[in-house]
A and B are shown apart, each in its own frame.
Chain A
Amino acid sequence: MAYQAALRVWRGDHGQGDLTPYTVEVNEGEVVLDVLHRLQASQANDLAIRWNCKAGKCGSCSMEINGRPRLACMTRMSTFAEDEVLTITPLRTFPVIRDLVTDVSFNYAKARQIPSFTPDPSVGLGEFRMQQVDVQRSQEFRKCIECYLCQNVCHVIRDHPENERPFAGPRFLMRIAELEMHPADTADRRDIAQDDFGLGYCNITKCCTEVCPEHIKITDNALIPMKERVAGRKYDPVVWLGSKISRRPRSAGTPKVPGKQT
């Protein structure tokens, strides 16, 4: 059954704007993005929305619906009461370009800073072999669609913009974990994870995991294992003593962070 839904949509640009009320028709089986498209087509032709696949795979339509970071294309209208007022705002962590579209270039800048995959140069092309169990942990992280909901919800930068420089955010700490766990990667990324990408800022409150539309266990499978590896490298006195008396093998070199001034 169709019904009329009450919406409050954040309209504005350059950070200045307000919540504009609308009433829009909703039909059975629709998602929030459908309703926003109807709003755009019928009442607010200049409403800016970023979207692409409508299938939860491109990560474009990230926004906040009733204060919760979600993909508009994966949020069914049936999860809300018909008399509930829906408040729709842009991602709060990133600068607004216009209406519901934000500038997520912060994430691209962080991605560029991560030293790339570093295989053993002595292994020739086509010679490396690995088994499924060796890469299955990394494969979980490859499900990421880069919707940046985890980056948006992480309070380290959401509530403290001054931490944007030292902290890379869960998505990119997960990328470091993916490379660190990779059986063919020879670089030791534990130092830079802590010193350059701010792993220590994470207090594992798991909001990144809660909002992930791909249900990646970011905290349990990437961030905490990475914290344990960093603890072994930097904070474990027994490991430190073992390395001093040469009872533990020396780790591979730490790669340089591109663009970092030394």
Chain B
Amino acid sequence: MTQTTDAPAKTRAQISQKTLRTDPWWRSPGITAVLLAIWVIYATVHVFIGHYYWVPQYHYLTPFYSPCVSGECVPGSSSLGVWIGSLPPIIPYAFVSLPFVLGFRLSCYYYRRAYYRAFWRAPAACAVREPHAKYTGETRFPLLGQNLHRYFFWAAVLVGILLTYDVAQAFRGPNGNFGLGLGTLIMLANVILVWGYTLGCHSCRHITAGRLNNFSKHPVRYWIWTRVSWLNARHMQFAWASLGTLMLTDLYIWLVAAGVFNDPRIFN
């Protein structure tokens, strides 16, 4: 009678090192963490300062205060009117838009990748062991809420329309006629990049035609999908560029409103 023995249990290669990567894998999440932290600290400081957000001569309103709906807003800066008399200091003037803009970026598929890697280190880089003992991903509250990204997208579209209106206002000079300054161009570049980021969103890609299985029956939606897909392929670049121009636009308007320097005018 032939004797058989059970095959020994197979296990993974027992390698104790967290990673055997020799390239500087820590650089990218490190840079991401620093840049996001700088941006968040800067934005938090300025939205609560409550000053230097409006340049009345040239109709420049910083995106961090748009729409300014508090009764405490500087006259002329409330493009949507005054909704409430006054606000406690812990509530920013643009409380109508900021939670949605923040929610849009926080639930964005690109930023999720960025902050999961940079802050949560799940994982910090590919093939680098993560430090957590347990992992459930986006299967439970609160991360299950990332599935609401599509609603933040629609809110971001409304905010984008508002920022576009603000840029249109910035094309007015001191006398109310057409005018153009460096601030106008910065605001214009910002809103273009914000639209590039917003319309390249994965939810937008899904809504336009990604959810369809028969592109050939919906040629217009398919064409829009191809345009959105072009933007989507550059979503990371638009995400960072628009984050940078939001900060630059705000800082520029802050400095001009504070009188640090005058806005160089190209016309009127």
Binding site for B on A (CB under 8 A): 10, 12, 14-17, 64, 66-69, 84, 87, 89-90, 92-97, 103, 130-131, 133-134, 153, 155-156, 158-161, 163, 180-183, 185, 198, 200-207, 210-211, 220, 224-225, 227-232, 234-236
Contacts and interface: CB of A to CB of B under 8 A. Distances in A.
Interface string B214-244: 1110000010000000001100000000000
B150 A228 contact: yes
Interface stretch (B51-59, B78-86, B120-128, B177-185): B120-128
Given A68-B127, A134-B215, A153-B126, 14 more contacts: A14-B9, A15-B14, A17-B14, A89-B20, A95-B11, A96-B13, A133-B216, A200-B138, A203-B113, A203-B138, A225-B210, A228-B210, A228-B211, A229-B206
Interface of B: 8-15, 19-23, 109, 112-113, 116-117, 122-123, 126-127, 129-130, 132, 134-139, 143-144, 147-150, 202-203, 205-206, 210-211, 213-216, 222, 232-233
Contacts of A202: 137-138
A170 to B, nearest CB: 12
B123 A155 contact: yes
Q: Is the interface of B mostly helix, strand, loop or mixed?
A: loop
B127 A225 contact: no
Contacts, number: 158
Contacts of A17: 13-14
A146 to B, nearest CB: 19
B25 to A, nearest CB: 8
Contact of A68 (B21, B113, B149): B21
A66 B20 contact: yes
7 contacts: A14-B8, A14-B11, A64-B127, A67-B19, A96-B13, A207-B126, A229-B206
A172 B14 CA distance: 26
Contacts of B150: 228, 231, 236
B153 to A, nearest CB: 11
B259 to A, nearest CB: 45
Nearest to B133: A160
Contact of B214 (A66, A93, A153, A183): A183
Contacts of B8: 14
Contact of A228 (B21, B126, B135, B203): B203
Contacts of A161: 12
